[in-house]
Structures are given as C-alpha cells and as structure tokens.
C-alpha cells in the first residue's frame, strides 16, 4: 500500500539542512511508490503537490514582529498574545486544508516543532496533529535550548506545548545522540536517531555543463586551487578559520570559495568576513549565482547550479564549524571524495570521530601542526587518494540511504503495520549522457558524453 505523506516546515527551498534532508527522505519514500506533498512559506517543489502559505515562513513580517516581542523579553503583552493566536488560527485552517486536499495519511514535521522561529506554526501544527490524530514523524534538527538567542523568552508556555509536543501519535526523530539525551531529560520524550545521510550506494551524477558554469561564475583560472567552504554564511560556521588557513598556506593559487548565501541571520558577519579576508590578503570568492538542491530541481532557472556542481572541482574542503547538529557539508565532502579540514565540534567528537575517519582536524584553533597536515595533503596525491577512499567506505557503512530506509520502515510499520511494505532500494540504474560520474572506488571523474577519464591530482 502506498501512502500520501505531507512534509511541513517554514521553508523547503535552497540548501539549508532542513530542505536538503527533506529531499533525501522524499527521494527514498518516492522510490517506493509513496507520494510526497509540501506545506511551507517558501517552496521549491512541484506546484501541483504543494500548498504555499506565506505566513508559515520564518521571514514573514508578522512572524518576525512576534519574535521581536517574545525573545529577549521576560513577559508578553495581551496584544502580542492576540496576534500569535490569530496567526495560529489562520495556519491551522491551512494545515487542515493541506490534509484534506492531498488526502494525507501521515505528516513529517521538519523542524517546525523543534525551534521556535515561527511560534504560531508550531502551535497550529500541534493542535492539528492532536485534532486529526494523523500519524506524524517530528524530525528535529536543532532545539531552542541549543541557541543562545532563544534562552530569554516570554513564551515558555508555548514552548512547553509545541517545541516539541508530547502526543501519542508523534514519533520523534533527532540527528545526534546529545539531542536524544537532552530531549528525554528536558521533556521526558523518547526519540530515535536518524543521522543525516547521502546515497553512498550510488555515486553522485553531476552535469558537465553546469560544473563549468559554476567554475566560470567565480572566475577561477585553470591553475587556481579552490578551497571550498560549503556552508551558509552564519557565525557558527567559523569561516574566519578558513580565511586563516588560506593565509597560512601562503600560496597564491589558493582561492577561498563560499558556496552558500548569507542573510538568514543577517549580513553583518558576511561583511566582516570580506574585510577580514582583505586585511589578511586572502582571495575570497562569494558565489554570485543561486545554488539549488541537487535532489530537487523544480521551478529553478535553466542555468541554476545545484550543490552537486560545486564540489567536483574543489581541491580541499574547509569545515571549521563551532557547532553543528550533524554536519551535511562533512558528508558531502566525503561523498565527492574530497579531503577536509574539520573543527572538532561536539557532535563530531561524540558521534562521528569514533568511526575512524581520516581527516585534518583542529580543536578550536588552527595550529601549525594542522596547517602542515593540510600542506601535506594538498601536495601528495597518494595521501589524498588513500584518505578519501577510506572515508567513503566508512560513510557508506554508517550514513547511507540504507540506514534511512531501515529507520523509516520501522517507524511507518509502527503506524500502519504490515499494510505498508518495508522500503527498498529502487534507485534507477541507467546513467544519462552528459553527466559527470564519480566512481566510488577510485578518485576519477568519467565524462559520460565524451567517454574519457580525467584524473585529478
């Protein structure tokens, strides 16, 4: 039996973690005949399968006004409460419409019941789930207690009610072991862990045309080396350490490229990074074209590059984050068989590092030893090939789609019993012409349209 599944969040567009992981979940579910539908304030999915509700976006003017009134404050006024409930009522009506229109059998709440960026949406979603008793997976990426800006607030009653709610028809899923422990400690809610994943069973397919478009868009010369920072420009990504690394490498061929946009948390950090790079003589390139979700191309411009077009020509990946719920960029670097520098953030230390990945690491600061390690990696093709092959094999065992299929199958079975079959690998095996194929066993790019191999040192 195939079921209709509704994904709910503030935004399903771009390359943020929530949008990317929801695409992966939908990919696995749709391979098995299930139908996925989308509810959010910004949606880059099939229009005929989506319900766009502007008030669901965390950047909606009314939602931003609510946040200004309730965070950093210890009390809220009656007019603020009234606005919150007016918006809650509107959003709840649209959620009921979503369920009816697409005849949904199950919901997946993507971070909408986790972090209170849109308080009315969380309240509306909680009430809708309680009223309809629809089976729901609450997929939690980062909780409010993990963000300093939410520590002082005037909505403790709403947070206890909806971020997240404790309802019998909700199965809670987190992305790391610390989140599971804190959720149980703070709320008494039990949860399972589904880490971020990639389809390591099938190597990435990348358009040869758009990879060239991306490289040309940032003005790289054939002799340049691209040091890629594949993250959004937000302060917790620690991008200043990437600038410091490029400075210490003392090689004019190195160009630091940041692939994602700024703006979710303001532009001040991005402006500071530009000044910081200039002061230290680092050639910093900010991507000027929109980068899309590689698993979802609906509604994009014809020339839009996907995230998968960014990685192939990178020579080295920097990922010096101070905090991550899991770390999509880490998995993506491994998937594209790229060497990587990583800061030992808490989730990495606890959940990822014990698996034995071969990486250049820093521990809160960039030491001379770490810089020398990066130099050796860049100078030795043998060293690079050994480390990226090892990392791919480890990730394939622990972070592949098979792990996601197994976990989702167990949850769906708990709702529907044997009426819904277990998820299996139904990925199309045919490789289309004109795509760049990355063999998982060797560091080699095969241009399928030209039938020739190009080794990268």
The residue among 72, 70, 78, 179 whose CA lies nearest residue 118 is 70
Q: Do 112 and 224 belong together in one domain?
A: no
* CATH number, residue 30: 3.40.50.2000
Q: Do 236 and 118 belong together in one domain?
A: no
Q: Do 287 and 380 belong together in one domain?
A: yes
Name the packing angle between helices 328-335 and 17-31 (round to 10°).
60
Measured between alpha carbons, how far is 295 from 308 in angstroms, rounded to an integer? Answer: 9
Q: Which residues of 420-442 are buried (b: 16+ CB within 10 A; e: fewer)?
A: beebeeeeeeeeeeebbbbebee
- 127 SS3 class: helix
Q: Do 189 and 246 belong together in one domain?
A: no
Q: Last residue of some domain: 158, 193, 228?
A: 193
Task: Kindly give the confidence (pLDDT) of every residue in the chain, 457 residues in length, as a single tens digit, with 9 standing for 90 and above.
Answer: 999 999 999 999 987 889 999 999 999 999 999 999 999 999 999 999 999 999 999 999 999 999 999 999 999 999 999 999 999 999 999 999 999 999 999 999 999 999 999 999 999 999 999 999 999 999 999 999 999 999 999 999 999 999 999 999 999 999 999 999 999 999 999 999 999 999 999 888 777 777 777 777 788 888 899 999 998 888 989 999 999 999 999 999 999 999 877 665 668 888 999 999 999 999 999 876 667 777 776 644 444 677 788 888 899 999 999 989 898 899 999 999 999 999 999 999 999 999 999 999 999 999 999 999 999 999 999 999 999 999 999 999 999 999 999 999 999 999 999 999 999 988 765 444 444 444 433 333 333 333 333 333 3
Q: Do 213 and 182 belong together in one domain?
A: no
Q: Do 367 and 231 belong together in one domain?
A: yes
Q: Do 188 and 209 belong together in one domain?
A: no
Q: Do 159 and 216 belong together in one domain?
A: no
Measured between alpha carbons, how far is 372 from 202 in angstroms, rounded to an integer? Answer: 34
365 is a domain residue: yes
Q: Do 159 and 220 belong together in one domain?
A: no
427 is a domain residue: no
344 is a domain residue: yes
Measured between alpha carbons, how far is 183 from 216 in angstroms, rounded to an integer? Answer: 46
Q: What is the layout of strands, in order, in the sheet containing 284-286?
A: 284-286, 254-258, 225-229, 316-319, 340-343, 360-362
Q: Do 156 and 209 belong together in one domain?
A: no
The residue among 197, 200, 198, 193 whose CA lies nearest residue 178 is 193
Q: Do 62 and 169 belong together in one domain?
A: yes
Q: Which domain holds residue 349?
A: 205-398
What is the count of structural domains for the chain?
2
Length of the chain: 457
165 is a domain residue: yes
pTM for the model: 0.86
Q: What is the layout of strands, in order, in the sheet containing 444-447?
A: 205-207, 435-438, 444-447, 452-455
Q: Do 185 and 212 belong together in one domain?
A: no
């Amino acid at each position: 039996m195939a079921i209709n599944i509704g994904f709910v969040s503030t935004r399903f567009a771009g390359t943020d973690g929530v949008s990317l992981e929801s695409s992966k979940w939908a990919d696995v579910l749709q391979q098995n005949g299930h139908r996925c539908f989308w509810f959010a304030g910004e949606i880059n999915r099939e229009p005929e399968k989506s319900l766009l509700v502007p008030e669901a976006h965390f950047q909606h003017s009314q939602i931003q006004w609510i946040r200004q009134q309730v965070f950093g404050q210890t009390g809220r006024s009656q007019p603020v409460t009234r606005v919150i409930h007016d918006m809650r009522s509107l959003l709840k009506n649209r959620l009921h419409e979503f369920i009816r229109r697409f005849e949904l059998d199950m919901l997946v709440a993507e971070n909408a019941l986790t972090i209170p960026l849109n308080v009315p949406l969380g309240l509306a979603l909680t009430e809708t789930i309680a009223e309809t008793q629809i089976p729901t997976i609450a997929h939690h990426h980062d909780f409010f207690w993990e963000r300093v800006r939410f520590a002082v607030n005037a909505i403790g009653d709403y947070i206890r009610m909806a971020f997240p709610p404790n309802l019998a028809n909700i199965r809670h899923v987190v992305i790391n072991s610390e989140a599971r422990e804190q959720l149980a400690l703070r709320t008494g809610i039990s949860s399972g862990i589904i880490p971020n994943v990639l389809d390591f069973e099938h190597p990435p397919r990348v358009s040869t045309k758009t990879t060239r478009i991306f490289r040309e868009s940032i003005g790289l010369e054939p002799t340049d080396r691209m040091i890629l920072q594949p993250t959004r420009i937000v302060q917790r990504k620690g991008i200043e350490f990437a600038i410091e690394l490029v400075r210490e490498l003392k090689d004019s061929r190195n160009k630091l490229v940041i692939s994602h946009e700024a703006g979710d948390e303001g532009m001040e950090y991005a402006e500071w990074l530009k000044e910081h790079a200039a002061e230290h003589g680092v050639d910093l390139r900010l991507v000027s074209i929109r980068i899309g979700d590689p698993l979802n191309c609906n509604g994009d411009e014809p020339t839009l590059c996907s995230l998968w077009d960014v990685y192939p020509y990178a020579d080295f990946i920097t990922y010096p984050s101070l905090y991550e719920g899991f770390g999509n960029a880490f998995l993506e670097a491994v998937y594209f068989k790229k060497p990587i520098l990583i800061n030992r953030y808490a989730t990495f230390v606890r959940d990822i590092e014990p698996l034995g990945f071969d990486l250049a690491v820093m521990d809160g600061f960039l030491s001379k030893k770490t810089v020398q390690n990066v130099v050796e990696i860049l100078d030795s093709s043998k060293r690079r090939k050994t480390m990226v092959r090892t990392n791919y094999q480890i990730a394939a065992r622990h972070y592949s789609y098979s792990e996601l299929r197994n976990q989702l199958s167990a949850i769906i079975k708990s709702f529907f019993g044997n009426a819904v079959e277990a998820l299996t690998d139904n990925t199309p095996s045919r490789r289309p012409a004109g795509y760049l194929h990355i063999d998982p066993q060797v560091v080699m790019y095969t241009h399928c349209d030209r039938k020739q191999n190009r080794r990268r040192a």
